[in-house]
Structures are given as C-alpha cells and as structure tokens.
Chains A and B, each alone.
Chain A
Amino acid sequence: MSDVVIAGYVRSPFHPAHRGALAKVRPDDLAANTIKGLIERTGVNAEDIEDVLMGCAFPEGEQGFNIARLVVLLAELPLSIGGMTMNRFCGSSMSAVHYAAGQIAMGAGEVFIAAGVESMSRVPMTGFNPMPNPELAKRSAAYVGMGDTAENVARKYELSREAQEEFALTSQKKAGEAVQKGSFKEEIVPFTLPDGTVIDTDGTPRPETTAEGLAGLKLSFDENGSVTAGTASPLTDGSAAVLVCSADYAAKNNLPVLAKVKSVAISGCAPEIMGIGPVEASKKALSRAGITIDDIDVVELNEAFSSQSLACIGDLGIPEQKINLDGGAIAIGHPLGATGARIVGKAASLLKREGKKYALVTQCIGGGQGIATILETA
C-alpha cells in the first residue's frame, strides 16, 4: 500500500468577520478561488482529482446545497471530479484530510483535495435556524456555547487570566513576525474583489497587541470568568485547501511533497470542556504512529481559546518552542470549517521548512471531540 502525502497547501487571506475585507465575499467564491490556486501552484493534473472534500461547520445559506460540488463547478474544474461537504464543526477539514487518506489507502482514488471554508460574516455560528432538541438541551451540555467551555476549562485547570493573555500575546507576536518575514506569502492565494481590489494579506493579526491592552478588555462570556475577546480566536472569514495524494502518484507527477500522513485519530470528551479534546486524540494518534510526544518536532494546535490551548499543552507536555511557530488562531483567525486544512497544511510546510521529522496537528471540536493527525517528513 502506498503512503499518503500532503503535496500542496494554500489558503485564502483570513479576515475578521463582519468588519473585514472578505465580509461581502460569498464563501463558495472564496473556496473556489482557493482551490484553483492550489491546482495552479501544485501543477496537479485536475483530470486526476477524484473528489473535492469541503469542510464546513454551518453548511447552510451560501454554504448550503453541497458547497463542495458547487465549488468544483464554480472553479470550472473537470466535471468528472466529485464533491462532498463534510461537517465535524472545527474539525471538518481535518476530517476531510483523514477521509482522503483513508480512500487512498483503500485504493479508492489517488488524488483528493481536502479543503474547508467558513464565512462567519455571512452564515452565523449556530446557523440561521438553531433548533436544538429541547430534551437534550436540558439534560446535557450538548449545545453549550464555546466561550462557556473556555471558561470551564480555565476553571478546571486553574488558568489565570494573566496566563491566558500571555499565551495570546505570544501568538500575536509570532504571527506578527511571520508576517514581517513574509512567511504567509507562499500559502496565501490572493482574492480579487469585484471592484478590482486584490486581497493578498491577512486582516486578522494584531501585532500591536500589548499586555496592558489585553488586561483592559472586558470579560466576554462570564462576569466572574477570565476569558476575553483577546484570548479567544476571532470570528473569521477564510478558506484553506491541501492536496492529498498517494506517494506514488506524487512521485510519478513530480509534485512538491511536504509530508506524509503517519496516523490519525478522533476522540470524544464531555461537551462542557470540549477544549481538552486534543489531549486524548493526540495520545491516540501518537500511539498509532508508535511514537511519543518527545518525538514530535512541530505542533500545530488550534488556538480556539488560550485556556484550552494551555490545558492541552500542559496535559500533553509539549515544549513551548514547538508550538505554532507562525502563530495560531488567536492571531490568524479561525474560520471554523477551514482551520483543519490550514493547520495540516501549515504543519506539513513547517516540517519541510524547518527540516524536522514529526509534526502533531490537533484541534478541539464543539460538542466535545478532539481530532489529531501525525505527519512525518516525506
């Protein structure tokens, strides 16, 4: 059986929802542009692509109607390519990578695009018609707000506001430096607005953030809590895509392989502390890969909130210098459905850039789940 490799990663610029440059952009248009960029940059023969998998946390409105297939048509890709929208909330597009890897492993195709998109400007979190099961809502925290879970984790792990803010500040600093160095340039596919304006940089990072500024923010979720807008990832518009294919195919077609998929895992946890989802998922993935956390060189941990990031880092015992080298979601943003593809792609590129061996990519998922992927240098 052939290895599964990541042979390309791109993303759209990320912009804050509602007030950012992409607020008026349809998510299907944004995703189509990103995918076209992936095909162009990798040079993959589009005819060979089996399926486009599109992660999306709220697949309704402009993200509805099976957006994956619509994006294939919008991008004018060969009609022979399929399209499937996948939803595992924040883990959607990482699941897309996993699905593609599984399909390749079982010989059900050689080349897949695993992508994700979310316009949090245009389709609200919870969707337009939230209609929870009243009984389940009463007896469990199934529908708990994400901010509340961040507070729960902060309490459970006794994470002070200061510690959370220090983590956020570091994330902003790393992202700021990455912007300075131009590290995002090669991953961003510029988007051209109808008026001709080209959006080719992120609107999300706030490198000007200071400890004093963060300390002055109001509490966002609980008047007795510790989480603020500064220690949470911002609502974001964006999309991301990775090219997943068999190692044989990549070699045959001279594709720029970034990393190979070593192992994957999913786990569940209590919904009210969904933020610790990465802990179990990562342990499972590490064990399946036959390595330990000490073998990991690079970690992409989605920063839904400072509190859950810190809790996971603590539980997993990850050294700070290995985490989110170019900054995380607190600075860059977290377009729900797109984040999984972004951090898988990012971790793969970092392995190559840093010349390292193993990467752990993991995120927490609303409703109480964790997802993880181990990548190995190709």
Chain B
Amino acid sequence: MAESNMADKGIKKVCVIGAGTMGAGIAAQIANAGVPVLLLDIVPKEGDNRNAIAEGAVAKMLKTDPAPFMGKRAAKLVETGNIEDHLGKVAECDWVVEAIIERLDIKQNLYARLEEVRTEGTAVSSNTSTIPLEQLTDGRSDAFKRDFLITHFFNPPRYMRLIELVAGPKTNPDTLEMVREFVDRKLGKTPVDAEDSPGFIANRIGTFWIQQAVNSAFDMGISVEEADEIGGRPMGVPKTGIFGLIDLIGIDLMPHLMESLTSTLPKDDWYQKIARSETLIEGMIESGYTGRKGKGGFYRINREDGKKEKQAKDLKSGEYRAAARPGIVRGPAKKDLKALISAKGKVGEYSWAILGPTLSYAASIVPEATATVVGVDDAMKLGYNWKFGPFEMIDKIGVAHLIERLEADDLPVPEILRKADGRSFYRVENGKRQYLGTDGEYHDVERPEGVLLLEDIKLSSEPLIRNGSAALWDVGDGVVALEFTGKMNALDEQVMKLIQKAIPMVKKDYKALVVYNEGSNFSAGANLGLALFALNIAAWSEVEKSIKGGQDAYKALKYAPFPVVSAPAGMALGGGCEICLNSDAVQAHAETYIGLVECGVGIIPGWGGCGEMISRWKDNPRQPSGPMPAVSKSFEIISTATVAKSAAEAKDYGFLRKDDGVTMNRDRLLFDAKQRALAMVDGYEAPEKPEYRLPGPSGKAALDLAVDSFHRQGKATAHDVTVAGELAHVLTGGDTDITETLTEADMLKLEREAFMRLVRNPKTQARVEHMLETGKPLRN
C-alpha cells in the first residue's frame, strides 16, 4: 500500500494542523510554493464560527510585516477549517504537518485520530522542538511510524532557511525523501538531518550560546550595548547580537526554552550547569517587558515627551537609560575572530566567555545531535543567521589555538577537536570542499542534485575575465555567469566594460550567459559614491558618458545573439533591476526584492528602465488599450520607487514577466537559471526592437495633475514634483505627438537628457549625499 503510493511521490496537497505562529507560517510558505494547503485548528470555545481560529490566523498573516505570504494569490491557496469537522480531509493530503501545542498527551491524541483518517503513505510530521520522536509515536501502529518524522521549522518559516529533519528507526526512507524533496525544492528550505536528541541542533547550540552570553554579561558587568557590539557583527552574528535577539524572539520565551532543555538533556550535560535565571529578567517578564512584542525589552524606543529615543536597560539598576554606542571593538578584532578573543580588556574577555564554551559545546554534540560538522554549521548559519558555523569559526581561530585556550581555562575539549589534531575542519582538495568526519578522514561536501554554486566553481577555476567590479565564470555546459563583485554588488563603468568584453567571447565560444552572484543582494544599483564624486566636481560629461555606457552595455546584452538570463536574489534595485528588464528571461529567487528606486535619490532610471517598463505594461493583455495605461502604470510604479516584496509580487508590478521562472531554494538558483538559458539556445533570436507610440505633452499634463494632487495631500515633496515631472516627460515620450512613433534610441535619449537635468539639480545632489551618509532617502 505504502509502496503503491510512492509511485507518485510528489506532494500535491498538505494539511497543517495548528494555526499558531509556526503552523500558520508553515501553511503560508506551502501556499507560497503554489501548493494547496488545508490549515486546521481546534473549534473555539466561544462564538458561532467553528473555523475562527484558522481563519483568524490567515487574516492576521495578511497584515503581518514581514509578510508570511509572498502575494495575495498565495493566501487563496490556504483552505481553513477545524479538526472536529474537517479532519477527514486529511485523506486528500500527501503530507500532514502537526504544529500544535508542545504537549505530549495532546499530540498523541491527535496522532491517534489522524491514524483513523489518513491514507497510508501520507507523511505525518511534527514541528516539535522539544519532544523526542520516540515518545510522539508511542502507541501508534508500525504503518504510522513508517510515515512519521519530525520536520522542525524555524520562525518565521518563510524567511528562515533551516529545517531540521529527524527520522525514527522505523521511518520509511521513501517518506523521508519525499518530504526532503518537497521542503528543499518547493519550500526552499535546506534540510539538515538531526538525530532524535533534545533540542536537535540549532536550538541546542543557540540556547547554550544565549545563556552563556547573558550569564557572562551579568557576571562580568558588561552592558547590553557592549554585549551586542562584541557578540554581534565581529562574530558574524546578526547585529541584534545577544540582547537584541532576545528582544526580537521574546524574553518570555527564554524560561520555556530553558525548561524544555533542562528537562530533556542528561543531567551531566554542560547546559544544565549554566542554565539559570536572573531576577531582573524574571521581573521584566512579569511586568510585560517581554521585548519588541511587549512594552519594551533590553532595548526600547522611548516616545515620551514626543521624542523618539533608543534606550537600553541597565543590567545593574534595572532602569532604562539612553542607549550608548560603545565603539569598543576596534582594529583587527572587528573582523578577525582570533584577534577578537585575544583582545585586551573586556572585548577579549567577553568574546572568549561566549565563544570558548559555545564552540566547545557545539563541537561536543557531533555526532550525538547530527552526524557531521557540516550539519552543525548549516544549522547555525541557516537557523540563527550566523555568517559562519561553529566549525568554520574554529577554523578561523585555529584548532590548536582553541584547544590551548580551552585547556588553559579548564574547559572541556571535545573528542572531535582532539581528532582534528591540528587540522582544519574544512579544506579544499582538488577543487572540492571537504570536511573532517568523525572518522578523522576528510570527505567531500556533497551538494544535492540540482544545486550549483559559484562558491564551489570558484574552488576549482579562475574567472574567464575579471576586473574590479565584475567577473565572468564558466559554469559548464557552454554557459557563462556574469558576477558583480563590487561592494553591495554596486554597478559602475567597470561592470559595463566587462559586459561589452564578455559579449564577443560568449558569441564565439559559449551558448548563453546568466547574470548571477552569491551576494546577499543581487545588486543595490549604481555606485552612488562614484556618482556623487563626479557630481561634486561637476564632471558632467563623465556622468553622461557613464549613463550612455550603461545603456549601451545593457542594450548590447539585450540584442546579443545568445540568450541572457538574469538570476536575482535579495535586492535588485535600480540598475540591478534594469539588467533584469533587459534580459531575455529572468529566473528569480522567490525572495527577490526588485524595483526601480531611482526617484528616491532624485533621479530617474537611466539604463533603459523607463522604456522597458512601458513595453512590459503595453504587452500586458489585461491593460486597457490606448496610449496612457502603460505609461500611467509605469509612472505610478517608478515615481513611488516601488520595490516588490517577493518574486511573485514582482510579476504583479511587471518587473518580472508572467512566464519568468521562480526558484524557491536559493542554492538551486544558478542551476535553474542555467537550465532556462540552455532551453532557449536552440533557434535563439534576439528580440525585435520595440517602437513606442506615446501620448506626449497631453499625457504629461494628466500625470502632472496627479502629482500636484499628491503634493497637496502631503504625499509628494517639492523635489518629488520636479523628479516626477522629468519622469513623466520621459514616459510620455517628451514632445512626441500621438501620431508619431518613437524608437528605443529616442527613449534612451530622453532618459539621458532628463537624467542629466536632474543630476545638475542641487536638491538631487543633496538626496544622493544623504543616501550615502545615512542609507535613507532624503525627503526634500
């Protein structure tokens, strides 16, 4: 029976039981993948609506920021119900995710009911973070146990890439693989196999780490700001550091985490010794100071007297005071872990007080919690957003040095550190990344099928060409990848030069080009720093040359005799958006935040974005006909510097075409983009040049009226009106007449001229400068 179901392995419909934050968030991510999902919760004690809890959860998510849903269409894929009336529908589902309260008896009771209604072969998994699998399936049939596993998501499920998979001794490997495939390819998560041990991997280490950092801060008289400065960025930890992170996840969660780990870990586990609570923190929880969701936490924004002051809690007095910026981590300690823990004074002492025990503890749970060091590192990087995993940190410090320090402080030196015997945990051998196994041997880090990383390619090859801002890589099968390499992957003349150089090379020796990189953001747009420098010295001809250079490079890519596929992930702004607009196709990561944001800094898109957006909207069959609709829509989107909050939303704005691809798993993006490009090679013809029939001054008059109205409403500043006026001039075709036709070159010229008028405006220059200094737009 189970075998026959396995023939069709795909998961086509999922049921999530439990509509709390996690369950609802998991359901949303399943819907984001385009898969229908049934979300069930209990029948509320009060009221007539028996589905109120699940319905309420969906309604709440539609208002949550950051949004659990990638778009409104996704929300429609969630069907809500309750476990009294709708549990039978589980029979239609291929996977049931249980995400209800962490109580063994209630979970067991639900599984007993599920056993009655589910089809054999339907996977059942728990999102438990604390209860051992063995206890969960106690009393269930073997058939149930074969289909059961733990799928431990991290909060928020849409954004956190980690999922810990725990299989029991009886779990059918096919079921495990079916779920693994689904969470990887459809939900975009990176599955890490964990053993059935308390806290699994990430929370076990994470809870220890937070506890150790909090204990040490209290013991050593370190302030919360100092703790977060030392324990944040220099360690490759998000800037929230320790106390900022606790505020984010909720201070009231701390005692629960501690309780669940102390009650399940063996009595001699190191964590048992450090687990303790502070009177100050208990008091904060009691009085509702539970962090960002409460009245405040270790930090708060004090809005009294109409001010907006960031304050921090004094750990000694318990009072709030103005938050300080200690600035105590200086020099090499900022970037070098070894220098950090060796620094004199509290920087070195506190960083070691966190890292020494945490790294030792992390090293001690292999293979008890997971088979390899890779599992530990992946778990912390993807579940806690650490830049480096514990073993990668150990390599940075040096295994021998770490052992020395641990011994000197009488701290445990786990076996795996001894086994390393002075060797690093990772190495590159024959162009392959390898890790040190518990057997004392090196093994290749294996990538799942369909995962292709530039990071791996770089281990075994050199770029075909490179300069200070970009590089071109052979990514196999006749495809090259154009990588941006500047700070924030900013775009400049160098990038454009490399594009021009790449085109004849690809034409001669390759089949297709993908634009791809592995930065956290595809590109933040043009290099504003360089631009400001040119503006400050009034090098107008240089500025115009760089605009023209960008237009020429992008159009050369557009009309190159081979397919060009852009593969954005993260932010793709301004020029980063325009290169996508000028590509034959886009394969975007689901978490792509794309937009033409130029107006925010007082300019307009200058590398072909204006014309491309009009073409997109003109080609949209749902737009009414006539000269204005495409222009109005493009104007609305560009003038407000709209950024799509997902690839799905990018399609609604026309930044992506309806048939552009979306990859859920970040690690699969390059592979998918390459496949898309290769699929276009046969019979490829460059696109025809567009022609534009635009409304001219009459259309501009309409847009001006709208902008004036926004100005009166207080939604547009005086300079917004100027910038929008130039944008309107370009989008409506300048002085064209409705009977005339404009070419792409005409549009580019309009764009350039308007751009040049704006950069000469001191108010635009003030915006650029402000953005560079503060990272925020100036509303002048």
Contacts and interface: CB of A to CB of B under 8 A. Distances in A.
A134 B709 CA distance: 16
Nearest to B697: A134
Interface in B663-696: 695
B624 interface: yes
A129 interface: yes
B626 A128 contact: yes
Interface in B26-71: none
Nearest to B698: A131
Interface in B688-712: 695, 697-702, 704-705, 709, 712
A263 B625 CA distance: 42
Interface string A221-237: 11111000000000000
B705 A129 contact: no
A196 interface: no
Interface size class of B (residues with CB under 8 A): 20 to 34
B713 interface: yes
A145 B705 contact: yes
Interface in A111-145: 126, 128-134, 137-138, 143-145
A145 B701 contact: no
Interface string B704-748: 110001001110000000000000000000000010000000000
B713 A137 contact: no
A148 B705 CA distance: 11
A145 B624 contact: no
B90 interface: no
A305 to B, nearest CB: 15
Given A131-B628, A145-B705, A221 B698 contact: no
Nearest to A218: B713
A170 interface: no
A316 B459 CA distance: 85
Contact of A130 (B628, B709, B714): B628
Contacts of A224: 714
Nearest to A131: B698
Contact of B701 (A132, A147, A220, A221): A132
B627 interface: yes
Contacts of A219: 713
Given A148-B709, A148-B712, A220-B713, A128 B624 contact: yes
A319 interface: no
Interface in A272-330: none
A130 B702 contact: yes
A61 interface: yes
B624 A61 contact: yes
Contacts of A144: 705
B629 interface: yes
A129 B704 contact: no
Interface string A205-222: 000000000000001111
Given A61-B624, A131-B627, A137 B709 contact: no
Nearest to B628: A129
Contacts of B627: 129, 131
A137 B699 CA distance: 11
B701 A134 contact: yes
A144 B695 CA distance: 20
Nearest to B699: A131
B698 A128 contact: no
A137 B701 contact: yes
Contact of B712 (A129, A130, A137, A222): A222
A145 B704 CA distance: 12
A223 B628 contact: no
A129 B699 CA distance: 8
A131 B693 CA distance: 14
Contact of A137 (B624, B626, B705, B738): B705
A151 B708 CA distance: 14
Interface in A253-272: none
A138 B701 CA distance: 8
Nearest to A221: B713
B633 to A, nearest CB: 11
A223 B702 contact: no
Contacts of A221: 709, 712-713
B695 A131 contact: yes
A133 B701 contact: yes
A222 to B, nearest CB: 5
B413 to A, nearest CB: 63
Contacts of A147: 709
Nearest to A220: B713
A307 B35 CA distance: 51
A307 B697 CA distance: 34
A147 B700 CA distance: 21
B629 A132 contact: no
Given A219-B713, A222-B712, A223-B713, A133 B624 contact: no
Nearest to A62: B624
B130 to A, nearest CB: 44
| Residue of A61, A126, A134, A138 most packed against chain B (CB within 10 A) | A134
B701 A223 contact: no
A126 B699 CA distance: 12
A122 to B, nearest CB: 10
B714 A129 contact: no
B701 A131 contact: yes
Interface in B158-183: none
Contact of A132 (B626, B702, B709, B714): B702
B622 to A, nearest CB: 12
Nearest to A126: B702
A368 to B, nearest CB: 16
Given A143-B705, A223-B714, A134 B624 contact: no
A143 B702 CA distance: 9
Contacts of B712: 148, 151, 221-223, 225
A51 to B, nearest CB: 29
A221 B709 CA distance: 7
Contact of A134 (B625, B626, B628, B700): B700
Contact of A129 (B629, B697, B701, B713): B629
Contacts of A128: 624-626, 628-629
A132 B713 contact: no
B709 A129 contact: no
Contacts of B695: 129, 131
B333 to A, nearest CB: 49
Contacts of B628: 128-131
Contacts of A133: 698, 701
B713 A134 contact: no
A145 B709 contact: yes
Nearest to A144: B705
A222 B713 contact: yes
Contacts of A222: 712-714
Given A128-B624, A128-B629, A145-B705, A134 B698 contact: yes
| Residue of B627, B709, B738 most packed against chain A (CB within 10 A) | B709
Nearest to A136: B701
Interface string B317-351: 00000000000000000000000000000000000
Contacts of A132: 698, 701-702, 705
Cβ-closest 9 pairs across A and B: A223-B714, A131-B698, A129-B626, A130-B702, A129-B628, A128-B624, A134-B701, A137-B701, A132-B701
24 contacts: A126-B702, A128-B625, A128-B626, A129-B627, A129-B628, A129-B695, A131-B627, A131-B701, A131-B702, A133-B701, A134-B697, A134-B701, A137-B701, A137-B704, A138-B701, A143-B705, A148-B709, A219-B713, A221-B709, A221-B713, A222-B712, A222-B713, A223-B712, A224-B714
Interface of B: 624-629, 695, 697-702, 704-705, 709, 712-714, 738
Given A131-B702, A134-B697, 9 more contacts: A126-B702, A128-B628, A132-B701, A132-B705, A133-B701, A137-B701, A145-B705, A221-B713, A223-B713
